[in-house]
Amino acid sequence: MCRQVRTKREMERIVRTAAGEAVLDPSGRMSGRGTYVCADPACQASAGRDQAIARALGLSGGTHATP
């Protein structure tokens, strides 16, 4: 996570489902607790990204939300 300020178009939304899983939300309209991550491939490949997403969503484990 680079924590750079980006426009919404450059971000992807990740939502925590009722099942406690983190899923990609391309529409940006899914309900639930969500967080925005960079759509930058270099950033997506960075170590610790899944953990950062999980932390943002209050999940204990990692995620498999990377496209």
2 binds Zn ion (CB under 5 A): yes
The first and second tokens of residue 50, run together, are 């899944």
Helical (H) or strand (E) element with 55: helix 49-57
Which residues 6-35 are close enough to bind Zn ion by CB under 5 A? none
Number of residues that bind Zn ion (CB under 5 A): 4
Binding mask 35-64 for Zn ion (x = CB under 5 A): ---x----x---------------------
Task: List Cβ neighbours of 24 (8 Å cut-off, separation of 6 or more).
Answer: 12, 13, 14, 65, 67
State the minimum distance, in angstroms, from the CB of residue 36 to Zn ion: 10
